[in-house]
């Protein structure tokens, strides 16, 4: 009896496992459908051109303006600023760990950096408000309590572990023969690292920067707490700005009824956020998928 049922049972298991795997595809489809569905209704009321080129974002106040540029500007300011913090330190650390550090030193530092990566983003937000912002205000008295600079610092710290671990992997994957060849030609350690290893790893390192910046763009709790809620077209990091993610949180905290245009703005902003980060991730994945092939 059991033997004749065996193929049926095996088939059932196979099918349910297939369903599990398909769910990941369905999640993507779900994200796209839900974002598009509500956004299309939004763009019925607000022309796409006005949304993309308008310089005022005041959906919660009268008169309402729906130009996403101020939110985009705030997001880019925070992402760019945090990259400015994280990229040099991250790359330096990755180079040190990969090229210079003793195995013992690496075994101590790497787990510590993993702890840094595991700290929730709301904790970084706390740190921005309680520690970083007061320091910035002491140096630049014109800065507000909420300012983009403190968000840049903590988001920079947040994306550091990601840059370090990805870049270090890439540096490690550069074949030792290249280093040996350069050393044999009389290059010192600095020359080997900067003129041979770094150029060989460059595309992968850029991919790791892209992934980290994409993470900074999607970062939410730290920027909501630190950067404030003032959608503004400014490049001054001492001012309060609002990012796309912080706006979504602001609406979520209020009591906006479903079906209103204010409610739909979060789907339109979410769509913009999704498209931006997805594009960067896909480019980075593409670069990374080609990195390994070069030396084979």
Q: How deeply is 159 buried, as exposed, middle or buried, from its count of CB atoms within 10 A (0-12, 13-18, 19+)?
A: buried
Distance from C-alpha of 133 to C-alpha of 239, rounded to nearest angstrom: 12
Please, what is the Cα angle at 244 between 277 and 29, to 5 degrees?
A: 45
CA nearest neighbour of 225 among 124, 139, 83, 134:
124
Q: Does 46 bind another protein (CB under 8 A)?
A: no
One of 173, 191, 206, 261 touching another protein (CB under 8 A): 191
One of 71, 76, 152, 211 touching another protein (CB under 8 A): 211
Q: Which is nearer to another protein, 47 or 259 (CB)?
A: 259
In three-state secondary structure terms, 123 is helix
Q: Does 74 bind another protein (CB under 8 A)?
A: no
Q: Does 164 bind another protein (CB under 8 A)?
A: yes
- β strands within 11-96, DSSP E: none
Asked if 267 contacts 34 with a C-beta cutoff of 8 angstroms, the reply is: yes
Asked if 214 contacts 277 with a C-beta cutoff of 8 angstroms, the reply is: yes
- Count the site residues for another protein by CB under 8 A: 87
In three-state secondary structure terms, 188 is coil
Asked if 65 contacts 199 with a C-beta cutoff of 8 angstroms, the reply is: no
Q: Which stretch binds another protein (CB under 8 A): 35-43, 60-68, 176-184, 199-207?
A: 35-43
Q: Which stretch binds another protein (CB under 8 A): 46-54, 59-67, 201-209, 269-277?
A: 269-277
Asked if 207 contacts 171 with a C-beta cutoff of 8 angstroms, the reply is: no
Q: Which of residues 121-160 bind another protein (CB under 8 A)?
A: 121-123, 125-127, 129-131, 157, 160
Query: Smallest distance, Å, CB 15 to another protein?
Result: 10
Q: Does 88 bind another protein (CB under 8 A)?
A: yes
Query: Smallest distance, Å, CB 63 to another protein?
Result: 26
Q: Which stretch binds another protein (CB under 8 A): 42-50, 66-74, 134-142, 187-195?
A: 187-195
Query: Smallest distance, Å, CB 258 to another protein?
Result: 6
Q: Which of residues 217-256 bind another protein (CB under 8 A)?
A: 217-221, 224-225, 245, 248-249, 252-253
Asked if 171 contacts 98 with a C-beta cutoff of 8 angstroms, the reply is: yes
């Amino acid at each position: 009896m059991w033997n004749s049922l065996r193929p049926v049972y095996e088939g059932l298991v196979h099918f349910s496992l297939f369903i599990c795997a398909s769910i990941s595809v369905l999640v993507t489809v779900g994200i796209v459908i839900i974002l598009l569905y509500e956004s299309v209704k939004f763009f019925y009321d607000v022309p796409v051109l006005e949304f993309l080129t308008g310089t005022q974002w005041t959906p919660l106040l009268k008169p309402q303006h729906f130009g996403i540029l101020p939110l985009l500007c705030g997001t880019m300011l925070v992402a760019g600023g945090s990259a400015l913090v994280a990229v040099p330190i991250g790359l330096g650390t990755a180079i040190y760990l990969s090229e210079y550090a003793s195995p013992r030193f690496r075994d101590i530092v790497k787990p510590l950096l993993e702890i840094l990566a595991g700290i929730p983003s709301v904790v970084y937000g706390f740190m921005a408000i309680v520690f970083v912002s007061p320091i910035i205000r002491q140096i630049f008295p014109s800065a507000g309590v909420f300012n983009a600079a403190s968000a840049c610092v903590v988001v920079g710290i947040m994306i550091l572990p990601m840059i370090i671990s990805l870049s270090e992997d890439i540096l490690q994957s550069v074949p030792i023969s290249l280093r040996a060849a350069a050393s044999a030609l009389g290059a010192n350690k600095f020359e080997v690292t900067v003129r041979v290893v770094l150029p060989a790893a460059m595309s992968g390192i850029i991919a790791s920067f892209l992934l980290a910046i994409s993470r900074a763009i999607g970062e939410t709790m730290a920027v909501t707490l630190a950067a404030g809620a003032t959608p503004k077209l400014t490049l001054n990091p001492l001012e309060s700005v609002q990012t796309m993610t912080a706006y979504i949180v602001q609406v979520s905290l209020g009591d906006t009824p479903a079906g209103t245009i204010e409610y739909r703005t979060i789907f339109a902003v979410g769509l913009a956020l999704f498209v931006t980060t997805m594009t960067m991730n896909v480019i980075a994945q593409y670069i990374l998928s080609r990195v390994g092939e070069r030396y084979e």
